[in-house]
Amino acid sequence: MNGSNHAWIRTADGWRTPPRVLVFRASTLPCPKSPMALQFNRIGLIAKPDPVVTETLATLTAFLSDLGCTLALERETASLLLPGAGYETHEAPALAASVDLLVTLGGDGTLLGAARLLAERDIPLLGVNLGRLGFLTDISPADMTERLAIILQGEFDEERRFLLRTEILHEGNVALSQLAFNDAVIHKWNTARLIEFETYVNGRFVDFQRSDGLIVSTPTGSTAYALSGGGPLMEPDLDAILMVPICPHTLSNRPIVVGGDSLIDIVVCGSTDPQSVRVSCDGQVGQVIERGDRVRISRHPRDIRLIHPKGHDHFNIMRTKLGWSEHPAQS
């Protein structure tokens, strides 16, 4: 046990020391390689800004410090620990540029934000699940230290997933550009009426639609809003983009899957007031468009490196998170 040098943590009831936890020493790590040969030495931590993650954060920082890792915490994450704990702190963008591995503690939303930070970086991303479903954050707090010990020794699975780049074009010029790891959504705002818009793929007219909006999703996002809208589940490594209408007035409007290199344009038209329309990326604050603006969505040129424990199985995640049936146990 090693509780004497743990940082104090902030809870809803005030500051206190975390519960005493078992910390793996380097000599007892369950790893096949020498504990001195860590794959990642400088590790960044971003946590959901909620006291519920504090004890897990304290356990993780103590564990990684004992292994000899250099830790850097996002400023708001560091505020969950007692000031003066001694950890290096940065604003999120600077943190993402200064580490070998970025670890998130929270739900998929926390990881989505981190993924957007890493859009221009060749830095791997790993998630500890303290949210609800957790399709992306597949390490549980219960086995966090054991799995991380193995991952830090270089035993892990890595996959590359792409983001979407969303641009709002005003009079032919890019007025705003944002990234999305899950989806970009054009949707109605502050009105009960349907909105009207045209959709184009690679310059070819697809349809005129009256609906509550359109979800444009990566394969990663097919388990998110697109799934609620009736879209298909997609394997994460597919080179494809999914378009799912939201409550279309024409019932024959169905989800469409197009190539990953497609250029998708959406133009609000008809009687729709553009002030009743917003564009949101990964559920962030909606952006306003003006009449005549064109919303252009395409694949971002750089992928995200997502790390999983060795033996990661996408369909096992689907079975577990979505409650799919398995073969009954043999008696």
Residues 226-275: pLDDT tens digits?
999 999 999 999 999 999 999 999 989 999 999 999 999 999 999 999 99
Cα 283 to Cα 331: distance, rounded to the nearest angstrom: 47
Cβ partners under 8 Å of residue 328, min gap 6: none
Asked if pLDDT for residue 95 goes beyond 50, the answer is yes
Cα 143 to Cα 74: distance, rounded to the nearest angstrom: 23
- CATH 2.60.200.30 for domain 164-299, yes or no, is yes
What is the DSSP annotation of 107-123? SHHHHHHHHHHTTT---
Handedness of CA 93, 98, 101, 106 (dihedral sign): negative
Q: Is 220 helix (H, G, I), strand (E, B) or coil?
A: helix
Residues facing residue 208 across a β-bridge: 198
Cβ partners under 8 Å of residue 100, min gap 6: 40, 41, 42, 43, 123
- At which residue do the structure tokens 């400023």 appear? 75
CATH 3.40.50.10330 residue ranges of the chain are 9-161+304-322
Which pLDDT value is given to residue 86?
A: 82
Report residue 84's pLDDT band, with 50, 70 and 90 as the boundaries.
low
Which pLDDT value is given to residue 18?
A: 54
Nearest-10 Cα torsion for 152, 153, 157, 162: 40
Cα 201 to Cα 296: distance, rounded to the nearest angstrom: 10
Cα 69 to Cα 90: distance, rounded to the nearest angstrom: 17
Q: Is 145 helix (H, G, I), strand (E, B) or coil?
A: helix
Lowest mean pLDDT among 36-40, 115-119, 121-125, 171-175: 36-40
CATH 2.60.200.30 residue ranges of the chain are 164-299
Which residues does the annotation mark as catalytic?
108
Superfamily name and number for 9-161+304-322 = Probable inorganic polyphosphate/atp-NAD kinase; domain 1 (3.40.50.10330)
**Which of the pair, 102 or 82, is modelled with greater confidence?**
102
Share of the chain above pLDDT 90, in %: 76
Look up the pTM and report it: 0.86
The H helix count followed by the E strand count for the chain is: 7, 21
Asked if pLDDT for residue 73 goes beyond 90, the answer is yes
Burial (CB count <10 Å: 0-12, 13-18, 19+), residue 94: middle
Asked if pLDDT for residue 329 goes beyond 80, the answer is no
Burial (CB count <10 Å: 0-12, 13-18, 19+), residue 171: exposed
Cβ partners under 8 Å of residue 185, min gap 6: 213, 214, 215, 216, 225, 246, 279, 280, 281, 283
